[in-house]
A and B are shown apart, each in its own frame.
Chain A
Amino acid sequence: MPKITFIEHNGTSHEVEGEAGMTVMEVARKNDIPGIEAECGGACSCATCHVYVDEGWLPKTGASEEMEEDMLDFAFDVRANSRLSCQIKVTDELDGLIVRTPEKQF
């Protein structure tokens, strides 16, 4: 099972087990990770599951697609490594993935 580490804005770290096929947002919700609201439930419609992907992992998670980029316009403090976690599918390749949650989801 791929492990994913969520690091909160205040530095608190949560290492949890994901499951290939789930999205990173779903893994966060399943494990009650603070800072991921996912108001729309994963439809890429609300930008409240915004995360910063650890720079080293960017090549593996890939870049956001156009719909996701459009939605990121509704997020706050968007950076080059910003992604919506509902659009990152967990794979075995992502074992060890580190993402950080923003200070606020809005």
Chain B
Amino acid sequence: MSNSPIETDVVIIGAGPCGLFAVFELGLLDIRCHLIDILDRPGGQCAELYPEKPIYDIPAYPIISGQELTDALMEQIKPFDPQFHFNQRVDEIEKLEDGRFHLKTDDNQEFICKNVVIAAGGGSFTPKRPPLPGIENYENGSVHYSVRRMSDFEGKDLLIVGGGDSALDWTLNLTPIANSVTLVHRRDKFRAATDSVNKMLALREEGKINFHLGQMTEIHGENGEMTGVTIKGSEEEVLVKCNRLLPFFGLTMKLGPVANWGLNLHENLISVDTEKFETSAEGIFAIGDINSYPGKLKLILSGFHEAALMAQKVNAYINPDKKVVFQYTTSSSSLQKKLGVK
């Protein structure tokens, strides 16, 4: 899919708490934002790692959960109408001759913007790759960490590994079109939706899928074509014949393409100054957990501060002739108008 480039003031990479609050600080300065995130919803780590877990160090909130914080930020930035692009990862950033930036995602969506704010936290959430020797040799066809096209699995012998919703949903959806489906999980307990578990158990009962209790230990195949996987149970090992493997072991954070954008890095984090939180590339900023500077603390509240200072410099780039009058939301009628205060 190729769309015409979207033109905007700022593209924010990452829709976690810092990326979301950046919309607010930029919005007060009339700067419009598009946000891109690899997850399917806003919140970043707050949504993916600890939606239900309490956070105790957000100023003025003695206790707030990751999801509540995300929801509150979404409410706070509503007046600025941010545009979200989920399930996409920014792969390329290139500076254009006119000083603007051209970005391209892995879904071939292109953006042209005046400034880029990297608020990518611990990096892109990426499916975990089981540490089986040689697995990388099969990733061009036999091993899939997600299902992009169901037709890729038609008539194939599938091995699905895991006990959560992804593993079970795909077991249910792919069984009708695959030649055979084997589900492998380390225990006979599944943390997926009850309805999916019951449907899967019914398929097992009817003999429409095979089930093995155990864990993968070895991949077999040649020339990048998988022929089977050894499954080790508590007592015995079995060789399951298959030509497609779908392992579902959750997500992990990887720095990903950020490392290729030519920015100065310090221990895999993006070096910034503490006045503007600008990277070594003029016009590209980095805020939140992904940046590095002396004294850096990986706290959400630090990211909020960084967002506010970054916004001032972005404003200087985008509106060089505008006189900056510092204002407070409590008393400024113009800021309140932007926020929709009546």
Contacts and interface: CB of A to CB of B under 8 A. Distances in A.
Tell whether A and B belong to one assembly.
yes
Contacts of B50: 40, 43, 45
Interface string B193-209: 00000000000000000
B58 interface: no
Number of contact residues on B: which range applies?
A: 20 to 34
Contact of B253 (A39, A43, A72): A39
A44 to B, nearest CB: 8
Interface string A69-105: 1101110111000000000000000000000000110
A104 B131 contact: yes
The prevalent SS among residues of A at the interface is: loop
Interface residues of A, number: 18
Contacts of A47: 250
Interface in B91-142: 122, 128-131
A39 B185 contact: no
B249 A43 contact: no
A77 B252 contact: no
Interface string B7-25: 0000000000000000000
Interface in A49-78: 69-70, 72-74, 76-78
Contact of B215 (A69, A78, A103, A106): A78
B164 A77 contact: no
A76 B49 contact: no
Nearest to B122: A39
Contacts of A23: none
A47 B191 CA distance: 15
Given A39-B252, A78-B186, A46 B49 contact: yes
Contacts of B49: 39-40, 43, 45-46
A103 B164 contact: no
Contacts of A72: 186
Contacts of A46: 49, 250, 252
- Interface core residue of B164, B252, B253 (most chain A CB under 10 Å): B252
Contacts of A48: 252
Contacts of B252: 39, 46, 48, 106
Nearest to B66: A43
Contact of A73 (B45, B129, B162, B253): B162
Contact of A74 (B45, B122, B128): B128
8 contacts: A43-B50, A46-B250, A69-B187, A76-B131, A76-B249, A78-B186, A104-B131, A106-B129
Q: Lowest 7 A-B CB distances belong to which pairs? A: A74-B250, A104-B131, A45-B49, A43-B50, A70-B191, A40-B49, A106-B128
Interface of B: 45, 49-50, 53, 122, 128-131, 162-164, 185-187, 189, 191, 215, 249-250, 252-253
